Structure 1
Amino acid sequence: MAYMKKIYLSSYEEVLELGKEQMEELKTRVKQEKKEAPRHIGSEWGRFEGLHDLSEEQIDELAKTVLAEMTLEQKVNQMSGDESLDSIALSITREYNKTPYYGGEDAQLDLPAVKFSDGSTGVVMYHSTAFPVPVGRAASFDKELEYKIGDAIGTEIRAQGGNYYGGVCINLVRHPAWGRAQESFGEDPYLLGVMGEALTKGVQNHVMACIKHFAANSIENTRFEVDVDMDERSLREVYLPHFERCVKAGAASVMSAYNYFRGESCGHSAYLQRKILKDEWDFRGFILSDFVFCIRDTEDSVNSGMDIEMPSTIHWGTKLVEAVKKGNVREDVIDDAVLRLLRQKIRFAQINADKKPEPEKVVCKEHIALARRAAQESFVLLKNEGVLPLDDKKGQKILIAGKLAAEVNIGDGKGSSAVRPPYAVTPLEGIYRRVKNAAVLYDDGDDLKMTAQKARDADSVIVIAGLTCADEGEYMATFSGGADGIIGGDRSDLRLHGSDIRLIEACARNNRSVTVCVMGGSSIIMDPWCETVQGIAMIWYPGMEGGNALADILFGDVSPSGKLPVSIPKTESQLPFFRINAVKAKYDYYHGYFLADKNGYDMRYPFGYGLSYTDFELRNLRVSAKTASKEDVVKVLVDVSNTGSRAGTEIVQLYTGYCGPSVERHLKDLRGFERVTLEPGQTKTVSIPLAVSDLSYYDDAKGEWRVDPIGYRIIVGNSSMDPDALEAVLEVR
């Protein structure tokens, strides 16, 4: 049992002191420990194997029946991670989550474990499909595609022995310097909620999904100590709506955050965990601790609402048993946590019961095709002065420049995002495979004189520039220098490396057909070099099929359709305050396009912006009602026409503004969107539902949501700053 495990390391900090020989001793000890450990239960779901069609009432009754059989020690075992601290220490510094991490298995009672697999771009177990990073997938504005990606991820987890996915990251990208921005779906709460819900539902066709990190988590380097403060309206309207949406959609689990909130560790915050999550939102799933450092003591954490300590038993186990016996923790608190865990195990034991996916479903043809489509839809064309798509014809010379063109660069290669696919197609490989007639040359950019000469001789230049997991991602300095010495973390510089900028400038001085493809996990400031090139595409970290997808876009086999899920500023002054080593942070109501609207900033590329190889026109905006009450749902309709010569996909975006609001509001908020694919000359009518209740604001004085009886601007366009956006007014009684 977890609470009986022998732990050789008393704290994770001890890992930092281990030398090379001691690490080898630790590795030997962990191997021996696993050899001597009791065998896991013999079936996927233990005593819940083969259950079918139980109602919620029957699930509750079965959970209570099982609970009544359990001793206090067995209850606490359900709440305790099964992995030894030694094993976790070794895996984080070497092969994180190669196999599922177990928590709460009980062979005596035949109760299955929570079998944890991490991820954000796929499944962090060998060897799984690597999709584009979530911020790139958010650029697709394609909730149906995200649902399919979730379904594929859930399939691959279960096929590899897991039953839990810890990769639905829906923390808001408040500032692009946040190192883990790539793991989330951007800066807008509505987009975060829609994409997070789609991913959650897709995953939960097969396994439990976890939404994370709860809450206000958007600084990485000081994630263990930073204390975040904000007013109640900012919390409720900006930082929590996406979490509530995923909870209402049935998310099985929520992971608490490392950071502090209003002076309390999030994992010890009864306000966040009990009052908001469990009481106000009626969350019936369980709360899981972020790994190792999230729980800081025994009694306060469990009394505040935490349900399972993962992946190791440090503060709970026998310590928690003693706390209950001393009366410092009530046993009904333990019972509530165990019932939450049992209910989800029973519920998911029934999903596709007796139909466990075969190992061949991992990185199958369908999932590879899905990864390629996701990459195609994720790319955002930011500038195109007639240079794209490229011509693949004899006599054409195309120069591909930049080291990243020939390197695998699919996202964070360390920690909780380290998806390890069996292969990954680089941009250079993808272009080589696609080209049949043109001559393709490659230059890594080391010798700029040589690069300049090749650029002069070429008909077109494609520069692959950007960042890697050494620049951003999970901060690994805490863990013995990080994976292979790579630290990552928050960015101190929001621009490209000087070597990339010099390469771009050398190419731009010597060729008038230069396209820069930028790799990265969030906004990258592109001024002033963006003025000197003819084409720019944001390609994020595009996953294992990224190179093939990029070639599809560059040569016009697929028209780009992505829109920015984050704003790209001209200067750092257009962003909210951010300090990389902050131990205190004050968040407010404004960031991203909300801040740009408030201060009248002219962003280089606004939220929701993206070009196509064709042109679209929006006209004939109408609303199904001129007046409505707060219980109503109205339809916003607009005609969309493809006025260009190629087929393409437009993303129609619905925002609302406020006419004389009783409290301060954003100038506009995203409320809906639809993808529409059109042939040249074709017109379709797009209909977007708008629930009037979604227009409410949080009255912090009364602790309730209220809908102002005012006029609401209905704004429909192709970005948050579309100068040709259509407008109407809806009066709410």
Structure 2
Amino acid sequence: MAGKNEPASIAADADAVDFMPTRGSDPDKNGDAVDRVLAHATLEEKVGMMSGHGFFAALGEDDRVWGARPYRAGGGIDRLGIPPLLFTDGPRGVTRVGSTCFPCTMARGATFDADLEHRIGQAMGKEARAQGCSFSGAVCINLLRHPAWGRAQETYGEDPWHLGVMGAAMGTGIQAHNVIATVKHFALNSMENARFKVDVRADERSLHEVYLPHFKHCLDAGIASVMTAYNKVNGEYCGQNPFLLTQILREEWGFDGFVHSDWVRGVYKVDGAAAGLDIENPEPQIFGEKLVEAVRSGAIEESVVDRACRRILATQFRFAARPDPLPGYPSDLIANEEHRALALEAAEKCAVLLENDGTLPLSRTNIRRLAVLGRLAAIENTGDNGSSRVRPPYVVTPLAGLRDFLGIDAVVHGDEDDIEAAAATARSADAVLVVVGYTAKEEGEYIIGDIALGADRKPGDPAPRPSISDVPIGGDRVSLDLPPVQIDLIHAAKASGKPVIVVIVAGSAVMVERWREGVGAILMSFYAGMEGGTALARLLFGEVSPSGKLPFTVARDTDDYPFFDRDADTIDYGYWHGYSKFDRERLTPRYAFGDGLSYTRFSYHGLTARRGTDAIEVEVSVRNDGKWPADAVVQCYVCAPGVDAERPIKLLRAFDRVHLRPSQSAQVQFSVPLDSLRWRDDIAHRWRLERGTYRFGVGGSSNELVYTSLEV
């Protein structure tokens, strides 16, 4: 049927034509195809592309379980043969029942392994396709400014360069299988409880040098979409912020993909379309009929709608025309053996050995009976219960993994519900493992029992039956310490006189000052995914050496972190955070950024740096000086002259992993782009490269480096 303002002859022609490109078609013809769609589509159809549709109805049909099906998240004109974008979230895996559950993003950040992250992205891309999804929200790269942030587990860490490299690896991996990836949340989103109201203030240097460069890194790598954040930045909501969405994203960075809002309350006025928001998700609460009326009244130019649709269609058509790497995407790709092995590899590589007095690795010969203490050892605990939740076919808990490894009779369990009984269990064993940390109740996306936030109900409608408790869970942490009962459990284990290993399950930094003395070893496993228990057993007994490195700084005193108020209306995000703040203020962390022990020792020799045309070429020899085969995580930091403007004492600018046998050496090469050495001149509003002597430091941690100098 013809649209209200469309000639019947055009509508009839359109009904007879499928405008969607096919796999392997000529991409040069995509522009013509986009023009034809815009010429044939009605205003209502074009505006319809600028919103998600059907989410609230689907949520009701699925008993309000998030991720039960792909969600129509913008795009699509059925009459013209254009399918919608079908969305799945992440970033632990495809948020559908039965998907592979990988370790949380922060855990994968601790691997410092971009190749592994790319392979995990490809696995997610395959599983998304196998489950009918064409659009993924798995790439979260918001900078960890303070460890109390509830959704810290969804990002990679505190360093912008590290965030950009890992996020780009994930996104390009997903897109290798023609699933459009989106990078989120743009921008300055690192508070959870106040995310719908807080106004985050930041100056130009802080924005461009600290809080935005990782987004540009990902977009430059080819990630095709951007999801806006809920919060305000410098007085305006991100979803309708022309400074972010047009001035920076489009004009300065040259981004040509599409921008969409976060789910519910992502935009508040139709002017958001003119500001640069192309899609409102998940329903047309602000766009839709209101946007059609704004165009008809002249309040919004129709060219704004055409521009948004052109961005959406151009992106869709580009992915639709690309050949698929696989002949098909059947359901047996979901959580298959290859992907489960990948989850295990990630769980082994992410674990960070923070302290070890020789207690680890344990010996199967000497450990005839192992006490495993803590409620968290026996429960499935893969991360929060928000939009990133994955429902895998199984989860190997720490207790199950160790019983499978040692035999069920060799592992005894006790927990904090009965400290005296747990202490007796510890005394009966040869060694004690205490599993402590958090669950979705203490940290994660802030869930108040209604994932639609009431937006799907009209006044007077009865409250729906929620799929989760009405009692709020998750959100920003109220403390960086372990719960007191867990600290009591650790002290009870130490009192047994047996070797004690503490395993921390959390999404970011946990304070250790109240209990670390007298503990033989501390291992941070994070939320380690569906194979976490298997990986833990292999790590503890030396089947594989720990090799993870902290992607954040662990302080000795919580006051050393930047100010944090989880209920703030306004907050300043300054230039100094993470290891740059600790360096500047000469604060000694408990564990530095990049810290992490191994069962072997590595040494660094022959560091050189030379200037190339567009980059500094850095090379170093790394040697395994111990007796265990293991991975070295080699980190390269740059120290700028800091004369033209104050700069951080050092900044990470490259990293790599290399596997070395005992006594084996390897040459590791880095190419540090000259552009990555620039600083943002907030008077001239441009980037400047300071001339002078730069120092390049390479090593296995930010506080253990060998240096060389170079004139730039």
TM-score if structure 1 supplies the norm length? 0.90
Of residues 450-459 and 464-473 in structure 1, the stretch that sits farther from structure 2 once superposed is 450-459
1:407 aligns with 2:379: yes
Q: Which residue of 2 aligns with 1:95?
A: 65
For the residues of structure 2 that align with 1:395 and 1:380, how far apart are their CA atoms?
Answer: 22
1:203 aligns with 2:211: no
| Residues 634 and 691, structure 1, Cα contact 8 Å, conserved in 2 | yes
1:679 aligns with 2:661: yes
The structural deviation recorded for 1:108 is: 1.0
Q: Which residue of 1 aligns with 2:701?
A: 719
Closer, same or farther in 2 for the Cα pair 1:528/1:151, shift >3 Å?
same
SS in structure 2 of the partner of residue 105 of structure 1: strand
Q: Which residue of 1 aligns with 2:495?
A: 509
SS in structure 2 of the partner of residue 198 of structure 1: helix
For the residues of structure 1 that align with 2:437 and 2:157, how far apart are their CA atoms?
Answer: 18
Q: Which residue of 2 aligns with 1:528?
A: 514
Q: Write the deviation string for residues 98-143 of structure 1: whole angstroms up to 9, x where unpaired.
A: 1011133322111100101111100111220000000000000000
For the residues of structure 2 that align with 1:394 and 1:508, how far apart are their CA atoms?
Answer: 19
Q: Write the deviation string for residues 54-101 of structure 1: whole angstroms up to 9, x where unpaired.
A: 33x43222212221111111111111211254544776x731121011
SS in structure 2 of the partner of residue 417 of structure 1: coil
SS in structure 1 of the partner of residue 82 of structure 2: coil
| Residues 88 and 312, structure 1, Cα contact 8 Å, conserved in 2 | no
Closer, same or farther in 2 for the Cα pair 1:53/1:531, shift >3 Å?
farther
| Residues 209 and 251, structure 1, Cα contact 8 Å, conserved in 2 | yes
Q: Which residue of 2 aligns with 1:623?
A: 609
| Residues 503 and 522, structure 2, Cα contact 8 Å, conserved in 1 | yes
| Residues 187 and 229, structure 2, Cα contact 8 Å, conserved in 1 | yes
1:266 aligns with 2:238: yes
Closer, same or farther in 2 for the Cα pair 1:667/1:650, shift >3 Å?
same
| Residues 449 and 472, structure 2, Cα contact 8 Å, conserved in 1 | no
| 1:311 aligned to which of 272, 276, 282 | 282
1:179 aligns with 2:150: yes
Q: Which residue of 1 aligns with 2:13?
A: none
For the residues of structure 2 that align with 1:437 and 1:506, how far apart are their CA atoms?
Answer: 23
| 1:157 aligned to which of 128, 131, 139 | 128
1:234 aligns with 2:206: yes
For the residues of structure 2 that align with 1:257 and 1:274, how far apart are their CA atoms?
Answer: 15
| 1:382 aligned to which of 338, 347, 354 | 354
The structural deviation recorded for 1:586 is: 0.3
The structural deviation recorded for 1:695 is: 0.3
Q: Which residue of 1 aligns with 2:575?
A: 589
SS in structure 1 of the partner of residue 80 of structure 2: coil
1:641 aligns with 2:623: yes
| Residues 458 and 511, structure 1, Cα contact 8 Å, conserved in 2 | no
| 2:553 aligned to which of 567, 581, 586 | 567
| Residues 106 and 153, structure 2, Cα contact 8 Å, conserved in 1 | yes
For the residues of structure 2 that align with 1:46 and 1:521, how far apart are their CA atoms?
Answer: 47
1:665 aligns with 2:657: no
Of residues 72-81 and 204-213 in structure 1, the stretch that sits farther from structure 2 once superposed is 72-81
Closer, same or farther in 2 for the Cα pair 1:437/1:492, shift >3 Å?
closer
Q: Which residue of 2 aligns with 1:696?
A: 678
What one-letter code is carried by the residue in structure 2 that aligns with 1:496?
L
SS in structure 2 of the partner of residue 168 of structure 1: strand
Q: Write the deviation string for residues 603-644 of structure 1: whole angstroms up to 9, x where unpaired.
A: 01110000111111111111134xx7xx53221111111111
For the residues of structure 2 that align with 1:266 and 1:386, how far apart are their CA atoms?
Answer: 50
| Residues 367 and 430, structure 2, Cα contact 8 Å, conserved in 1 | no
What one-letter code is carried by the residue in structure 1 that aligns with 2:20?
F
The structural deviation recorded for 1:376 is: 0.5
* Residue-pair matches, total: 681
| 1:351 aligned to which of 285, 307, 322 | 322
| 1:545 aligned to which of 505, 509, 531 | 531
What one-letter code is carried by the residue in structure 2 that aligns with 1:166?
G
For the residues of structure 1 that align with 2:240 and 2:408, how far apart are their CA atoms?
Answer: 62
Closer, same or farther in 2 for the Cα pair 1:457/1:475, shift >3 Å?
same
Q: Which residue of 1 aligns with 2:14?
A: none
For the residues of structure 1 that align with 2:80 and 2:602, how far apart are their CA atoms?
Answer: 62
What one-letter code is carried by the residue in structure 1 that aligns with 2:221?
A
For the residues of structure 2 that align with 1:249 and 1:453, how far apart are their CA atoms?
Answer: 55
The structural deviation recorded for 1:217 is: 0.5
For the residues of structure 2 that align with 1:226 and 1:288, how far apart are their CA atoms?
Answer: 20
Q: Which residue of 1 aligns with 2:26?
A: 54
Q: Which residue of 2 aligns with 1:469?
A: 440
Closer, same or farther in 2 for the Cα pair 1:75/1:518, shift >3 Å?
same
Gaps (5+ residues) in structure 1?
Answer: 5-44
Q: Which residue of 2 aligns with 1:731?
A: 711
1:292 aligns with 2:277: no
1:325 aligns with 2:296: yes
Q: Write the deviation string for residues 175-226 of structure 1: whole angstroms up to 9, x where unpaired.
A: 0000000000100000000000000000001200000000000110010000
The structural deviation recorded for 1:47 is: 4.2
| 2:114 aligned to which of 113, 119, 143 | 143
| 2:195 aligned to which of 189, 211, 223 | 223
| Residues 392 and 437, structure 1, Cα contact 8 Å, conserved in 2 | no
SS in structure 1 of the partner of residue 634 of structure 2: strand
What one-letter code is carried by the residue in structure 2 that aligns with 1:77?
G
| 2:468 aligned to which of 475, 483, 494 | 483
Q: Which residue of 2 aligns with 1:116?
A: 87
1:276 aligns with 2:248: yes
The structural deviation recorded for 1:292 is: 1.2
Closer, same or farther in 2 for the Cα pair 1:542/1:46, shift >3 Å?
farther
Identity %: 44
1:104 aligns with 2:90: no
TM-score if structure 2 supplies the norm length? 0.93
What one-letter code is carried by the residue in structure 2 that aligns with 1:105?
G
Of residues 212-221 and 480-489 in structure 1, the stretch that sits farther from structure 2 once superposed is 480-489
SS in structure 1 of the partner of residue 631 of structure 2: strand
For the residues of structure 1 that align with 2:492 and 2:25, how far apart are their CA atoms?
Answer: 65
Closer, same or farther in 2 for the Cα pair 1:566/1:220, shift >3 Å?
same
Q: Which residue of 2 aligns with 1:9?
A: none
For the residues of structure 2 that align with 1:61 and 1:442, how far apart are their CA atoms?
Answer: 66
The structural deviation recorded for 1:511 is: 2.4
The structural deviation recorded for 1:478 is: 6.9
What one-letter code is carried by the residue in structure 1 that aligns with 2:532?
G
Of residues 485-494 and 370-379 in structure 1, the stretch that sits farther from structure 2 once superposed is 485-494
For the residues of structure 1 that align with 2:214 and 2:134, how far apart are their CA atoms?
Answer: 24
Closer, same or farther in 2 for the Cα pair 1:534/1:178, shift >3 Å?
same
Q: CA RMSD in A?
A: 1.9
For the residues of structure 2 that align with 1:711 and 1:661, how far apart are their CA atoms?
Answer: 10
Q: Which residue of 2 aligns with 1:334?
A: 305
| Residues 504 and 525, structure 2, Cα contact 8 Å, conserved in 1 | yes
For the residues of structure 2 that align with 1:397 and 1:370, how far apart are their CA atoms?
Answer: 30
Closer, same or farther in 2 for the Cα pair 1:46/1:227, shift >3 Å?
farther
Closer, same or farther in 2 for the Cα pair 1:133/1:447, shift >3 Å?
same
For the residues of structure 2 that align with 1:191 and 1:49, how far apart are their CA atoms?
Answer: 36
Of residues 610-619 and 386-395 in structure 1, the stretch that sits farther from structure 2 once superposed is 386-395
SS in structure 2 of the partner of residue 659 of structure 1: coil
Closer, same or farther in 2 for the Cα pair 1:624/1:446, shift >3 Å?
same
| Residues 393 and 438, structure 1, Cα contact 8 Å, conserved in 2 | no
The structural deviation recorded for 1:684 is: 1.1
Closer, same or farther in 2 for the Cα pair 1:177/1:482, shift >3 Å?
farther
The structural deviation recorded for 1:476 is: 1.2
Q: Write the deviation string for residues 370-423 of structure 1: whole angstroms up to 9, x where unpaired.
A: 00001101100001111111111276221111111100000112x211111111
| Residues 654 and 715, structure 1, Cα contact 8 Å, conserved in 2 | yes
Q: Which residue of 2 aligns with 1:256?
A: 228
**1:77-96, aligned counterparts within 5 Å?**
77-88=48-59, 94-96=64-66
What one-letter code is carried by the residue in structure 2 that aligns with 1:663?
A
What one-letter code is carried by the residue in structure 1 that aligns with 2:707?
E
